[in-house]
Amino acid sequence: MAKVLVLYYSAYGHIETMAYAVAEGAKSTGAEVVVKRVPELVPDEVAKASYYKMDQAAPIATVDELADYDAIIVGAGTRFGTVASQMRNFWDQTGGLWFAGKLVGKVGSAFTSSATQHGGQETTILGFIPTFLHQGMIVAGLPYAFQGQMGVDEIKGGSPYGASTITDGDGSRQPSAIELEAAKYQGAHVAKIAAKLG
Return binding residues: 10-15, 78-80, 98, 134
Binding-site sequence positions for FMN: 10-15, 78-80, 134
Binding-site sequence positions for NAD(+): 12
Supply the DSSP string of the chain, one letter for each residue: --EEEEEEE-SSSHHHHHHHHHHHHHHTTT-EEEEEEPPP-S-HHHHHHTT------SPBP-SGGGGG-SEEEEEE-EETTEE-HHHHHHHTT-HHHHHHTTTTT-EEEEEEEESSTTSSHHHHHHHHHHHHHHTTPEE----TTSGGG--SSS----BTTB-EEE--TTS-PPPPHHHHHHHHHHHHHHHHHHHHH-
Binding-site sequence positions for substrate: 98
